Structure 1
Amino acid sequence: MSSILSRGRGAVAHRFRRLRAQSFHPPFPGEDGGESEQNVVVDCGWGRLLFGQTFQDPAELAASLREEGPDRRDIAFYIRDPHVALAAAPQELFLDPSHTFRLDLPTYRGSRKSVRGFAIRPVANREDAVEVNRIYAARGMVQIPPEWFEANKESRVVRVLVAEDAMSGAIVGTVMGVDHVQAFADREGGSSLWCLAVDPQAAVPGIGAALVHHLAGRFKALGSAYMDLSVLHTNAEAIALYEKIGFRRVPLFTLKRKNFVNERLYVGPMPEAELNPYARIIIDEARRRGIGVEVTDAEGGFFRLIYGGRSIHCRESLSELTSAVAVSICDDKAVTRRVMERAGLSVPRQIETTDPEARAAFLKEVGSVVVKPARGEQGRGIAVGIETPEQLEEAVAVARTVCERVIIEECVTGEDLRLVVINYKVVAAALRRPPRVVGDGKSTVRDLVERQSRRRAAATGGESRIPLDGETERCVRKAGYGLDDVLPDGLEVVVRRTANLHTGGTIHDVTDIVHPALVEAAVRAAKAIPIPVAGIDFLVKSPDDPAYAFIEANERPGLANHEPQPTAERFVDLLFPQSVPAAVRAVQRKARDNAQGNA
């Protein structure tokens, strides 16, 4: 921490007893004429929190903001005269387009709902810190150096809480609280909430609200008079949550420094704002390197990147470097399978026939099949785990709505593993899991699916939704329920067998543990096509087990949702190798030379 006081509450608690019974409406906290700390700055890991009411000179506040570290996000809160502070550095600072909301803690009564499926606790170790950063990365937030958590785990000024899934032990949400009394003996008895973030793939509802309630309860118990927060004015979902809890908007202002992290807030909507997350992640990386961007068709996801005299047209991760022949091979699943079989990869048995009797015979032989259109993407028309001739013909009819040619494939059990291969190196490996819902003893399966679908859509910019179609109904029936049945409290049901993100699936990074044999097979698959950027899909027993079955190759893999792996960075490296810093290129060149020398 820098410029903060670490004081016990005993010396100041008596000041707040009379304040607990009344609401606070100060336009600018700390202006009651007494002594207080000056120029207070709190290190929050992701950047510094500057308490504007402690700066007497706006020029000093501006100068402090200008000291922001690289890749950090400093925030100046409680600004007396934002126009005056901006005048001190108009080219470097901007007025943040966020609203301030306040929860009056003396009248706050907490939540009557019991927390189900997760527990809330402080960050305990380095593993927790890594998980918090994973959630930050998934939400596009600035990450915190792990050593910050270690240095501040006993802090009474800044406290980071996490929500831990009761079944898996995974961290599914986090929030940060700052105690103003401990920071600078704040006479108003204030506190604030920062960095509320929920894992976009969390299946359990209510995590964000529970974290807010928990933090508010802690501050109320400590005698705080209010808890403030800052939220972007366009974040309607978050604002609705805060207002439901009891927050009210107050006229307080925030200043930030112009940097890459904040760019979209002070330059206005960029042309790429209309693109989907899979295109934006690439464009963000390109802009970070000074590469020019021209959006050629936002609706289709097309853009052009320009660096020096080199120009490359892309559609998300599909670029001009991928040949039309490679796209054609990936587009036809029957052709892809034959290419992989010739390359020596393990592939499931497969037939393509218009004869229902032949399909039924194949089903009887293998026991369970996958039905999928020969050409298609994003999981459309695919049915998994078909076991009867009647189900088979129904699934074929659905698949034909996507492509007239339909493939019947042996159903291999296992987990769905996506390996992202860029420039014939595996950059990321992730398990893709089918969507599932957890019962609460009150809601129907249909209601649970719709709620989970809305959460997935909100978390992915509308890219992931769970269709309420025949395939979902079939999977729910297989679990012993109907869509209009109430699911027992705590019972988890998989509502689709496919793990595709676009149909509600979730992605879980396993790059650090994936077996070398799977890495080698994925690279061999990409070279067999050949294709410089591909998503290679296997069914595996486990990501650390060498056994696999090839499923398909995707010529336009989504590079988002693979945090913390540098998928967009490696893609831009491939397109524009000269944009890589010279020092990094030297290290890469040395590594290549060593590899060739050892070969």
Structure 2
Amino acid sequence: MSGKKVSGGERGASKGGHPASDRSRHRLERQGSATLRGFVEEDPQHKGTPLKPNATLDCGWGRLVFAHTFSDNAELARTLLQEKEGQRDIAIYLRDPHVVLAMAPQDLFLDPSHTYRLWFFNYRPARVQPRGFRVRRLRSREDADAMYRLLSSRRMVPPSPEFVLERLKSRALSFFIAEDEDSGRIIGTVTGVDHVHAFGDPEKGSSMWCLAVDPQAAQPGIGRALVAWVADHYAARGRAFMDLSVMHDNEAVIRLYEKMGFERVPVFALKRKNAINEPLFVGPENYDALNPYARIIVDEARRRGIGVELVDAEEGYFALTLGGRSILCRESLSELTNAVAMSRCDDKRITRKLLAEAGLSVPAQQVAGDADSDRAFLAEHGAVVVKPARGEQGRGVAVDITDADEMSAAIAAAGRVSDRVILESCARGDDLRVIVIDYRVVAAALRKPAEITGDGRHDIRTLIEKQSRRRAAATGGESRIPLDEETERCVSRKGHALDEVLPPGETLRVRATANLHTGGTLHDVTERLSPQLRKVCETAARTLKIPVVGLDLLVTDPAGDDYVFIEANERPGLANHEPQPTAERFVDFLFPQTVQVSDATPAN
């Protein structure tokens, strides 16, 4: 194949060795000056590899369209318009993005992301030492399934496990994962693309895509370790640089990349207007003011053509309208939940009374206030839970109280949340949240209290603050670890102090309750939930006469039959249970005429 000049991209050439830093920058400024030759002559391993014209690479989530290999802008536009349903194609390295965009302005848009590049000519392998996790290649069906779940939970389009497994030996695509050393759980993933193997790149480039980190992972530095691993991988292959794309307003991630040596380069990308990309091109009216719990419902409603009116975005109020039917909602609480049902859930004493009368297992309980009676209750049960009779988001709740003075302090703290405080016998087990919609179980997740992992350098207070910032960033500000009396009590009971430096790799549980709003994490167990637990949860919802509810139980095993009901929540956070179809089932419930047969919930 003879050398063929095509539309040049904004890339630095590397002829016969690594370019100097200033020379590379000058080349970037001269957009379109590089000529892609027909063979990769500099790489002995790939000498004679032909440059692929009109190159695309199927990545499972869509195609990477290497725009600088297209000699005709019209053909590039046509290629983007051939995007398959449910996919997300990306055209990158465009010389004339404005020209291609003008050819299909109703269908294409300029991606509001920046491109950052790490040059390898002055790169030193990042000596990142993961603590509590390891980074490795994806190698099994279990790994591929975990990658699929993680990307889905981050609202990204994942490649199917079958697609990934078919390409484990691919030289163009490489899949890497971060694995928790203790549990074996996959807590991060990233995909690398080798441009030489993808299209015969004479400039020996590479790129990184689909970086995702489990927001509930306690270990610090997972994302940085994954980026460093991919960079080391391609530097060892003799590539000249690695590119990545990041949203223009993701300031925290941009700071991380710049700290690692990435430089912003004038590279642009085009995408097709579709439901997946809608938040990127609809402009300022894209409901960003809503919190994640309202936003997930609004997005699903808009996808179905249901009208949305924001009533009070800050508080999560919105109205959904279709035809002559209009329903006012506050997140997952709608007008279809009546005031009486809501009041049953709001008062934990009434919740317990009704569930007990229905024959469901509940803890012993009494109203706090009389000191002698409180001490007698503690003596009878050995350990108690102190909680406000009314309240939400775990405020004022103290768990596993075994000392009378601690109980008095906890009662006083709970009293600042509600004028009535209750004591419950402290049942043992794992905290299980079950979402019931239209009286059917839709999702279930184990909730675990907030934990930190020591690094041998920072004190416990600093580690809590760092973990809290990560949890807040991952949940839109909804989950934070409070540095309050309860956190200090939990740390002290473990024999530590807030100003103490935790040894590297040591994990410390800093809260007793697993509520998400106090830094707790959720781990999906929907498929493991036993038929018995499904039945009792649906019975509980019918007993309380509430069609949409989050039920909290303590269980020894979600696949078993033992349980104790703790409380019911009339406004559960549906976004916490992705990728389970909580928003879909909620909109099904509100507007059953929009249900598609393939999406319908199967009968139990």
TM range (shorter): over 0.9
Give the equivalent residue in structure 2 for 1:11: none
SS in 2 for 1:194: strand
Q: Is the 8 A contact 2:174 2:192 kept in 1?
A: yes
The yes-or-no answer on 1:357 pairing with 2:360 is: no
Contact kept? 1:164, 1:173, Cα under 8 Å: yes
Q: 2:126, 2:232 within 8 Å by CA — same for their partners in 1? A: no
- 1:215-364 residue pairs with structure 2 within 5 A? 215-270=230-285, 272-364=287-379
CA shift for structure 1 position 29: 7.7
Q: Tell me how far 1:381 sits from its aligned partner.
A: 0.3
Matched, 1:444 2:469: no
Gaps of 5+ in 2: 1-12, 39-50
Q: Residue type matched to 2:272 in 1? A: R
- Aligned-residue CA RMSD in angstroms? 1.5
- Residue 88 of structure 1, CA deviation: 1.1
Q: Distance in 1 between matches of 2:137 and 2:355?
A: 48
One-letter code of the match for 2:37? G
The 1:478/1:17 distance shift into structure 2, 3 A limit, reads: farther
1:84-110 Cα offsets, whole Å, 9 max, x none, are: 111111111111111111100111112
Within a 5 Å distance, the mapping from 1:2-401 to structure 2 comes to: 18-20=16-18, 22-23=20-21, 24-25=24-25, 26-27=27-28, 31-32=34-35, 34-35=37-38, 36-270=51-285, 272-401=287-416
- Of 523, 534, 539, 1:508 maps to 523
SS in 2 for 1:79: coil
Specify whether residues 33 and 527 from structure 1 end up closer, same or farther in structure 2 by C-alpha distance, changes over 3 A only. closer
Residues of 2 paired with 1:230 and 1:491: CA distance?
Answer: 34
Moved over 6 A (4+): none
Name the CA distance, whole Å, in 1 between partners of 2:575 and 2:300.
Answer: 12
Q: Which runs of 5+ in 1 are unaligned?
A: 1-14
**In structure 1, the residue corresponding to 2:242 is in which secondary structure?**
strand
User: Contact 2:131/2:504 (CA < 8 Å) preserved in 1?
Assistant: no
For residue 18 of structure 1, what is the amino acid of its counterpart?
G
Among candidates 563, 587, 602, match of residue 548 of structure 1: 563
Whole-angstrom distance in 2 between the partners of 1:113 and 1:154: 26
Q: Which amino acid aligns with 1:452?
A: Q
Q: Quick one: which amino acid aligns to residue 536 of structure 1?
A: L
1:243–1:33 Cα change, 3 Å? closer
Secondary structure of 2:314 counterpart? coil
Measure the CA separation in 2 of the matches of 1:322 and 1:259. Answer: 34
Which aligned pairs between 1:507-526 and structure 2 lie closer than 5 A? 507-526=522-541
**Aligned-partner residue type, residue 34 of structure 1:** R
Closer/same/farther in 2, CA of residues 233 and 16 from structure 1, 3 Å limit = closer
Please give the alpha-carbon distance, in whole angstroms, between the structure 1 residues aligned to 2:559 and 2:198: 46
3-state SS of 2:288 partner: helix
The letter for the 2-side match of 1:273 is D
CA distance in 1, matches of 2:36, 2:521: 54
1:369 touches 1:408 (CA, 8 Å); kept in 2? yes
Q: TM-score, normalised by structure 1?
A: 0.94
Q: Which shifted more, 492-501 or 31-40?
A: 31-40
Q: Deviations over 1:534-592 (max 9, x none)?
A: 011100011112100000010111101212211110001000010012x448x77xx77
- Which residue identity is paired with 1:159? S
Q: Is the 8 A contact 1:264 1:270 kept in 2?
A: no
Aligned to 1:577: 592
Contact 2:32 2:95 in 1 (8 A): no
Using structure 2 for the length normalisation, give the TM-score.
0.93
SS of the residue corresponding to residue 134 of structure 2 reads strand
**CA displacement, residues 183-220 of structure 1 (integer Å, 9 cap, x when unaligned):** 11111111111111111111100010011111001101
Structure 1 SS opposite 2:476: coil
Match of 1:487 in 2: 502
Q: 1:30 to 1:124 in 2, by over 3 A?
A: farther
Deviation at 1:32, TM superposition (A): 2.1
Q: What is the SS of the residue equivalent to 1:551?
A: strand
> Contact between 2:279 and 2:286, CA under 8 Å: does it hold in 1?
no
**Equivalent in the alignment of 1:425:** 440
Structure 1 residue 371: deviation in Å? 0.2
Using the aligned pairs only, state the percent identity.
57
Q: For each residue in 1:312-351, what CA deviation from the matched residue of structure 2 results, as whole angstroms up to 9, or x when unmatched?
A: 1101000111010000000000010000000110011011
Preserved CA contact (<8 Å) 2:399 2:513? yes
Counterpart check, 1:496 vs 2:511: yes
Q: Give the AA of the match of 2:169.
A: E
